[in-house]
Chains A and B, each alone.
Chain A
Amino acid sequence: GDSVTQMEGPVTLSEEAFLTINCTYTATGYPSLFWYVQYPGEGLQLLLKATKADDKGSNKGFEATYRKETTSFHLEKGSVQVSDSAVYFCALRGGSNYKLTFGKGTLLTVNP
């Protein structure tokens, strides 16, 4: 079945540092890939997505590129801010096109 594996946290960075959160997946067919973010005290919200190979999703300075050859969708940001502190979830929509399969989440803490 479909599965998502993302790097375990927690990840602690200083402001303006470079961020990478790794995500790899297993799925049949051609899944769509997503990153969701959960800020403290809030519900999960969509951060970015990519629907086909080599697509790059981007939002709020975050980027992720759909790599079919490595089955990966790593999240990157060039310069993190304290306000980026949150839990980040990688997800895919695979063969069953009505639900998302999520990874375990990665807690990011950015210190001033």
Chain B
Amino acid sequence: GAGVSQSPSNKVTEKGKDVELRCDPISGHTALYWYRQSLGQGLEFLIYFQGNSAPDKSGLPSDRFSAERTGGSVSTLTIQRTQQEDSAVYLCASSLGAVGLNTGELFFGEGSRLTVL
């Protein structure tokens, strides 16, 4: 597609359930990022992929969070045993290469809004 696509756009779940969030980056973009946007907290870095590898997953808040990327394209962020504090908008972004190697421009999707009841 023309831009970064994320699904679902909205997800309401019950505490303790697992959720999967999907990101389809711009074709040809090798770098992929997940950020979390919480009310009053700005954008919090979660994980960075270069191809299918994740050189930096230091931002994942706990071991309930995991992410994978397959075929150098689609990425899935999984949150197990969701908690209310996981409620946020999860943003995916892609770029041609790591931001240090290009203009620094990340292309963002519209996000997946997660609400944990």
Chain A interfacial positions (CB closer than 8 Å to B): 32, 34, 41-46, 49, 51, 89, 93, 96-105
Q: Nearest CB to that of B50 among chain A residues? A: A98
Q: Report Cα–Cα, A41/B111, bound state, in Å.
A: 10
CB-based A-B contact count at 8 angstroms: 65
Is the beta-carbon distance between B104 and A43 smaller than 8 angstroms? no
Whether A43 lies near B99 (C-beta < 8 A) is no
B45 touches A99 (CB 8 A): yes
B98 at the interface (CB under 8 A from A): yes
B56 close to A44 (CB less than 8 A):
no
Min Cβ gap B94→A in Å is 11
Closest to A6 in B: B42
Give the complex CA separation of A105 and B39 in angstroms: 10
B111 close to A43 (CB less than 8 A) = yes
A104 contacts across to B, CB distance below 8 A: 40-42
CB-CB under 8 A from B48, the residues of chain A are 98-99
B103 within 8 A of A: yes
Q: Roughly how many angstroms separate A49 CA and B107 CA in the complex, as a whole number?
A: 15
In the complex, what residues of A have CB within 8 A of residue B55's CB?
Answer: 98
B25 interfacial by beta-carbon distance below 8 Å: no
Partner among B50, B99, B111 whose Cβ is within 8 Å of the Cβ of A100: B99
Cα–Cα, bound, A46→B93 (Å): 12
B108: interface (CB < 8 Å): yes
Binary flags per residue of B78-117, CB closer than 8 Å to A gives 1, else 0: 0000000000000101000011110111111111000000
Residues on the A chain within 8 Å of B43, using CB: 44, 89, 102, 105
- Whether the pair B56, A46 counts as a contact (CB closer than 8 A) is no
List the A side residues contacting B98 at CB < 8 Å: 97-99
Contact at A49–B42, with CB atoms within 8 Å?
A: no
